[in-house]
Amino acid sequence: MGFLIIILILVFVIIIPNIKIVPQSRCYVIERLGSYYTTWHNGLHIKIPFIDRISSSVSLKEIVKDFAPQPVITKDNVTMQIDTVVYFQITDPKLYTYGVDSPIRAIENLTATTLRNIIGELELDQTLTSRDTINAKMRSILDEATDPWGIKVNRVEVKNILPPQDIQEAMEKQMRAERERREAILKAEGEKKASILIAEGEKQSAILRAEADKESQIKIAEGEAEAMLRINEAEAASIQMIKNAEADQAFLTLRSFDALAKVANGQATKIIVPSDLQNLATLGTTLQEMFKQDKK
């Protein structure tokens, strides 16, 4: 009975505590007699009591560290606060355990010094507009520097850039002035386009009015020409009818007198000299004889 109790004590005190289950995405660094022995990954493992020791438990997940703002000075001597976020992952638990003391603090200090070196080569405007360039340079430098520590830097992001208060106020005034300038330009361009459209409309209207007047005058001229043509045709038909009726000389002379009367009817002074005075005299004698015969 006493022997069984001793066995149970050994099982619960010595054997069970030395049975370890490593969870997923973690690993244990094992030392044997004070020296690195092996790395346990996920699964069931047993260590030798009083000989093996778990040196460190390391997470293999990607780790995100948001470091406090760091004071940096730009090339044009502007001091500002910049804080960064570093995304990294442990790839070698042994190097992570034995490569550097306090790896997280080491990464933070390395990030601060690297950031100061990069920003020191840039002016204020370049710093504010070159975040992608800064991120890429920092990731490359940190990834190379942390290789001996068993760390892989996946991404570095500049989170905030805080210039001094007076610089912020000057930048706000500059931005406000720039917005006002753009607004004035847009307003001027709008007024210009409106003036152009109005001028184009007036031009088109004038062209249409001119074309309408032209068409109207053409129609009037065509009407007058057609009326004159009809009159001439009627006069030609009348002359042709007289000709066909074989009118005597007296009738023709009377028609000539009618024409002379129409020509003489007007405000202007007209002098009409017949080209054949002898015929007129003869005509007068003929008319006189015709009147005498009518009286008898």
What is the CATH number for 156? 3.30.479.30
The whole-number pLDDT of residue 265 equals 57
**Percent of the chain surpassing pLDDT 70:** 78
Cβ atoms within 10 Å of 111's Cβ, excluding its own: 23
For residues 140 and 208, membership in a common domain is answered with no
AA letter at 117: N
> Is residue 12 in some structural domain?
no
For residues 171 and 150, membership in a common domain is answered with no
The whole-number pLDDT of residue 268 equals 47
> Is residue 13 in some structural domain?
no
Which residues, in sequence order, are CB contacts of 238 under 8 Å at separation 6+?
none
Q: Which domain holds residue 32?
A: 18-59
Distance, CA of 153 to CA of 142 (rounded, Å): 7
> Is residue 51 in some structural domain?
yes
> Is residue 68 in some structural domain?
yes
Q: pTM of the entire structure?
A: 0.56
Q: What is the pLDDT of residues 226-270, one digit of tens each?
A: 888 888 777 777 767 766 665 555 555 555 556 555 555 555 454
Residue that is last in its domain, among 116, 136, 163: 163
Beta bridge mates, 52:
32
Residue that is last in its domain, among 9, 32, 59: 59
Q: How confident is the model at residue 38 (pLDDT cuts 50, 70, 90)?
A: very high
For residues 214 and 174, membership in a common domain is answered with yes
Cβ atoms within 10 Å of 15's Cβ, excluding its own: 12
Mean pLDDT over all residues of the chain? 80
Q: What is the pLDDT of residues 80-121, one digit of tens each?
A: 889 899 999 999 999 999 988 888 999 999 999 999 999 988
Structural domains of the chain, count: 4
DSSP 17: G
For residues 147 and 175, membership in a common domain is answered with no
Q: What is the pLDDT of residues 51-72, one digit of tens each?
A: 889 988 999 999 999 988 888 8
Q: Is 149 exposed, middle or buried (0-12, 13-18, 19+ CB in 10 A)?
A: buried
Q: Is 96 exposed, middle or buried (0-12, 13-18, 19+ CB in 10 A)?
A: buried
> Is residue 10 in some structural domain?
no
Distance, CA of 151 to CA of 137 (rounded, Å): 17
Mean pLDDT of 5-21: 74
The whole-number pLDDT of residue 149 equals 92
The answer to whether residues 70 and 112 touch, using CB atoms and an 8 Å cutoff, is yes
